[in-house]
Homo-oligomer: A and B are copies of this chain.
Amino acid sequence: MRVLALLDGTILDPDAPLLRADDLGVLRGDGVFETVLVVDGKPRELGPHLDRLARSAHMLELPEPDSAEWEHCAKAVIDAWDWAASPEMALKLVYSRGPEFGEGQTAYAMGLQIGAGVVRRRQDGVSALTLARGFEPAEAERSPWLLLGAKSLSYAVNMAAIRHAEANGVDEVIFTAADGSVLEGPTANVVVANGRTLRTTPPVIGILPGTTQAALFRAAEKAGWETRIEPIQAEELTSADGLWFLSSVRRVTQIRTLNGQPVAASAELHAELSELYESNYRD
């Protein structure tokens, strides 16, 4: 099942062409996106996703997205979805600079099913590999034209990194900066547990602020965990009490091996963090 809607809420056939050949979204990867998890008709963290869409749009100097319009568009997709058939949806919001030789931006939302592999890994965990991302952590602030930390449509490197891992029999990637510090996964944030402290890396070093990570930290703080957003060195990962990828569609996915070596992966801790994240969405 796939559901496609324009920003004005018009539902379209997802198999029919939508974008012109000269759309800068395709010619230049020039646009931004978000992926929102929707469970049983309820979008999770929609406000933070729309805030991040606006942040990315600002970094790319696109006209500021109108959150009310995007909410309306998201609702149109959610209303058209068959929730009995599929209780979970990945809702993609896509906003490109539009056709190079036309008027206005391109904006649409798409409801997609979440792959069985992604769902299984929430239980089974994943293997991961650290791969260099090439830049120093200070580069993001120093060189805003590099768009580090923008969720742009230019994700070819993120996809190539995952292919590289898979070609080596590994599921996922943790990007590291030139100084050896941890950045993020190609499509997820990295969360590290040490005792009753959860840590993740700061957006200022050129990564996306995580909506799912923020939701977990919010619940964890209420439950008495300490949370920290601070630089983390790659060598600290192997001695942690647990490592996770957090993203909307992954939810809380445990990392079980890193660079071929097992890492601490307690089933109890995984269950506790998963439960903390889910507790955000109970009535």
A19 touches B14 (CB 8 A): no
Q: Taking the complex as formed, is A198 at the interface, i.e. its CB lies under 8 A from any CB of chain B?
A: no
CB distance from A275 to the nearest CB of B (A): 32
Contacts of A158 in B (CB 8 A): 28
Contact of A26 among B60, B94, B132 (CB under 8 A): B94
Contacts of A92 in B (CB 8 A): 27
CB distance from A115 to the nearest CB of B (A): 10
B60 touches A21 (CB 8 A): no
Which secondary structure dominates where chain A touches chain B? Answer: mixed
A163 to B108, CA, bound (A): 25
A16, A18, A134 pick with most chain B CB within 10 angstroms: A134
Contact of A20 among B15, B142, B146, B161 (CB under 8 A): B15
Q: Taking the complex as formed, is A178 at the interface, i.e. its CB lies under 8 A from any CB of chain B?
A: yes
A14 touches B18 (CB 8 A): no
B21 touches A26 (CB 8 A): no
Q: Taking the complex as formed, is A105 at the interface, i.e. its CB lies under 8 A from any CB of chain B?
A: no
A26 touches B28 (CB 8 A): no
| Stretch binding the partner chain, chosen from A149-157, A207-215, A239-247, A248-256 | A149-157
Q: Taking the complex as formed, is A231 at the interface, i.e. its CB lies under 8 A from any CB of chain B?
A: no
B30 touches A156 (CB 8 A): yes
Contacts of A145 in B (CB 8 A): 131, 157, 160-161, 163-164
B20 touches A23 (CB 8 A): no
Q: Taking the complex as formed, is A219 at the interface, i.e. its CB lies under 8 A from any CB of chain B?
A: no
Q: Taking the complex as formed, is A29 at the interface, i.e. its CB lies under 8 A from any CB of chain B?
A: yes
Interface residues of A in 1-19 (CB under 8 A from B): 2, 4, 12, 14-19
CB distance from A93 to the nearest CB of B (A): 11
CB distance from A209 to the nearest CB of B (A): 18
Interface residues of A in 98-124 (CB under 8 A from B): 100-102, 108, 110, 112
Q: Taking the complex as formed, is A159 at the interface, i.e. its CB lies under 8 A from any CB of chain B?
A: yes
Contact of A17 among B17, B27, B155 (CB under 8 A): B17
Q: Taking the complex as formed, is A81 at the interface, i.e. its CB lies under 8 A from any CB of chain B?
A: no
